[in-house]
Amino acid sequence: MNALRLLLIECSPRGDKATSSEFGRHLLSAITAHIGREVRITERNLGSEPLPPISAAYAESLLLPAEEGRARFPGQLGVSDLLIAELEAADLLVIATPVHNFTVPATLKAWIDYVVRYDVTFKYTPEGKVGLLHDRPTLIAVTSGGAMFSDPPAQPDFFRPYLRAVLGVIGLHDVTFAQSPGLTFSSEPFAEVERQACAWTESHLDQLLRAVGGKLLSQ
């Protein structure tokens, strides 16, 4: 039986105090306990090891076909190549992240800017941008201090629409959100994170595992 290759992206700079990392760990434990096969995890902690800023050379390379970009800017695309290789190798992508100012934190935006790359992870067509990566289940484990994601919304939500759109550009359309909002109002935010993780697991984990199983069977 093939092992599940899981890529975990953690985005908070708060280390052990990060509710998003705690939320992600609870969901990851549920996945590994119920998937029924070995899980090989590649972890990239963008909070503790931030990516370097986008360079002028890298920005210029995005305007060129892939091979021309490599020829003109040798040695400038290594970070992007590594992050894309990690993503391509994954059967399941898990992103554990907070909300910063109604949208994604800067650490996650930097990762996105390195993996959304012309002629490598997407191409232009007359109908618009088309992803070049194979789709795979993607779980976004997101925490917020405020009352995000309520219905009707209490705050603007640029987080989910943006991630759906930008991940879709590179071919990732099977995106699921697990949400733990309102933590500022909790006297015990870590206990609340655990409660909300358990609730999500009970109601949504089976659907995610079916999607992952389908991905593995298609290989």
pLDDT digits (tens, 9 = 90+) for 142-190: 999 887 887 777 788 899 999 999 999 999 999 999 999 888 888 899 9
Of the pLDDT bands very low, low, confident and very high (cuts 50, 70, 90), residue 115 is very high
pLDDT over 90 (residue 75): no
Q: What is the mean pLDDT of the chain?
A: 93
pLDDT of residue 98: 96
Rounded percentage of the chain residues whose pLDDT exceeds 90: 79
pLDDT over 90 (residue 100): yes
- Say whether pTM exceeds 0.85: yes
Note down the domain range covering 79: 4-217
For the residues 63-71, what does the mean pLDDT come to?
A: 92
CATH number of the domain that 142 lies in?
3.40.50.360
pLDDT of residue 197: 96
List, as one string, the DSSP characters of the chain: -PPEEEEEEE--TTGGG-HHHHHHHHHHHHHHHHS-S-EEEEEEETTTSPPPPPPHHHHHHTTS-HHHHHHHSTTSSHHHHHHHHHHHH-SEEEEEEE-BTTB--HHHHHHHHHH--BTTTEEEETTEEEE-SPP--EEEEEE-SS-TT-SS-SS---HHHHHHHHHHHTT---EEEEEE--GGG-SSHHHHHHHHHHHHHHHHHHHHHHHHHHHHHT-
pLDDT digits (tens, 9 = 90+) for 29-57: 999 999 988 999 999 999 999 999 999 99
Number of compact structural domains in the chain: 1
